[in-house]
Amino acid sequence: MQYLKTLDKCFFWKEHGGMYGTAGISDIICCYKGRFVAFEVKRPGKQLTKLQEKTIKDIQTAGGQAYVVRSVDEVKKIMEEL
């Protein structure tokens, strides 16, 4: 998130789970230069749940960008390509 703070035209937030949140939603939701981007943050070796997989597919089907990331370098590469 510290990296995202350095980008112009970038609005984002950390989605906290809980009873008022949306189950399966990605960890970081971002609007970057008018594009919807979602990041599911995973530690190396950890896998997505079925619900997380479905949510990522649903975001992509709706025209958004959704990624699984394991490092800040991965996020940087994605954002540079956008």
Q: Rounded mean pLDDT of the chain?
A: 92
> Which CATH number is associated with domain 2-81?
3.40.1350.10
Note if the pTM is more than 0.85.
yes
Query: Which residues are bridge partners to 66 per DSSP?
Result: 38
Percentage of the chain exceeding pLDDT 70: 99
Instruction: Domain ranges for the chain, please list them.
Output: 2-81
43, with CB counted inside 10 A (0-12, 13-18, 19+), is exposed
For residue 71, what is the DSSP state? S
Type of residue at 12:
F
SS3 16: coil
Model confidence band, residue 16 (pLDDT cutoffs 50, 70, 90): confident
Percentage of the chain exceeding pLDDT 90: 82
Average pLDDT over residues 51-76: 95
Residue 79 has pLDDT above 90, yes or no: yes
What's residue 7's pLDDT?
A: 93
